[in-house]
Amino acid sequence: MLDSRDLLQLTGKTAAVFGVANERSIAWAIAKALSGAGANIAFSCESERVLDKVTALAKGLGGTNTVQVCDVANEQHTHEFFKPVEKNFRGLDFLIHSIAFAPRETFGKPFYQTTKEEFFQTLNISAYSLIELTRKALPLMREGGSIVTLTYLAGERAIHNYNVMGTAKAALEQIVRQLSLELGDKGIRINAISQGPTQTLAARGITGFVDMKEFHEKTAPLGGSSAEDAAGVALFLCSGLSRHVTGEVLHNDGGFSILGMQLPKTNKA
Ligand code: NAD
C-alpha cells in the first residue's frame, strides 16, 4: 500500500545542499522544502564572501543545519566538506547540486570564440563537479538516497547566448544518465530538473536573460517558472514517491520544451 504522507516525510534524513548564494537561489527554495518535510541540511557555499548570508538563512530554518565553505573547483574543499557531515549527521540521504559557472564574457560573444580555458572552467564547475561530489558523498549515502541536479533546455537545444553553458548542461545531463547505471545497485537515484528561466543571481549574468524569460512566460502553456516550482519537484525526487525514477531529466518549465512552434499564446480556449 502506498502511503503518500509517509513517503513525503523526510524526518531524520540529511541533505547536502550545494548552491545557495542568496534567498533567490533555487538551492535555497529546495533547502526550505526539504527542511519543511523534516530533513536536516548541510549547506555548502562557494566562498567566505557569502558565508554570513548563507549562515543567517540557515539559522532561520528549523532542524539541525550546518554551513561550510566549499568551492567545487578546489579538491581539498570537496574532500573536507563531507568529514563534518559524517560526524554531525552520521550519513547522508540527499545531495542537491545546484551549481553553475561560466565566465561572463562567454555569454556575450560568439560561441566559436570560446577559449580552451573558458571551456574547461565552465565544464569543470558546472558538470564535472557532479561526478566529484557524487564520488565523495557516496560512502556516506544510505539506501533510498537521491541526488538532484539543475539543468536547462540549452543542454538539448541550441539557444542564443547560452553558448558554452549549453555544452556544460549537455554534459551534465549525460553524467546523470551514466551515474544512474552505477548508483542503482546501491538503491540511490539521480535525476536532473530542467528548469525554465528563473530570476536569480546566475541568471542575471546571461546576455538577453530578461527577453528569454519574457518570451518563456508568453509562450509556455503554464507560463513562467519559479524557484518554488523547482523545489516541489526536488522534494518529489528526494521523497519515496519517486522511488522508481532515475536517470531522468524532468522538465519544470511550464511545458515550454514540448512546443513545436513557440508563438505567443492566443488564449482561444
Ligand atoms: P544562483 O546564482 O543562486 O546559484 C548558482 C550557485 O552556484 C551559487 O550559489 C554559486 O555560489 C554557485 N557556484 C558557482 N561557482 C561555484 C564554485 N566554484 N563552487 C561552489 N559553488 C559555486 O543561481 P540559480 O539560478 O539558483 O542556479 C542554480 C542552478 O540552476 C544552476 O545549475 C543553474 O544553471 C540552474 N538553472 C537555473 C535557471 C535559471 O533561470 N535561474 C534555469 C535552469 C537551470
Given this model, what pLDDT does residue 269 score?
Answer: 57
Given this model, what pLDDT does residue 263 score?
Answer: 76
Distance from Cα 265 to the centre of ligand 1, integer Å: 30
Give the β-pairing of 249-252 and 189-195: parallel
Whether 207 contacts 108, CB under 8 Å: yes
Which residues share a beta bridge with 191?
148
Distance from Cα 141 to the centre of ligand 1, integer Å: 23
Given this model, what pLDDT does residue 126 score?
Answer: 98
Given this model, what pLDDT does residue 187 score?
Answer: 97
Given this model, what pLDDT does residue 161 score?
Answer: 95
Which residues share a beta bridge with 148?
96, 191
Given this model, what pLDDT does residue 94 score?
Answer: 98
Q: State the Cα–Cα distance between residues 238 and 188, nearest whole angstrom.
A: 10
Q: Which three cell numbers stand for residue 113?
A: 570564440
Which letter does DSSP use for residue 196 in this model?
Answer: P
Pocket of ligand 1, candidates 26, 176, 215: which has the most ligand atoms within 8 Å of its Cβ, to mutate? 26
Given this model, what pLDDT does residue 68 score?
Answer: 97
Angle between helices 26-36 and 227-238 (to 10 degrees): 50
Give the β-pairing of 40-45 and 14-18: parallel
Q: Is 162 a catalytic residue?
A: yes
Q: State the DSSP H helix or E strand holding residue 16, giving kind and residue range, or none if neither.
A: strand 14-18
In the chain, what are the domain boundaries?
4-249
Low-confidence residues in the chain, pLDDT < 50: none
Given this model, what pLDDT does residue 80 score?
Answer: 96
Top-level CATH class of 4-249? alpha beta
Given this model, what pLDDT does residue 268 score?
Answer: 58
Given this model, what pLDDT does residue 7 score?
Answer: 84
Given this model, what pLDDT does residue 267 score?
Answer: 61
Distance from Cα 146 to the centre of ligand 1, integer Å: 19
* DSSP assignment of 24-60: T-HHHHHHHHHHHTT-EEEEEES-HHHHHHHHHHHHT
Q: State the Cα–Cα distance between residues 218 and 255, nearest whole angstrom.
A: 12
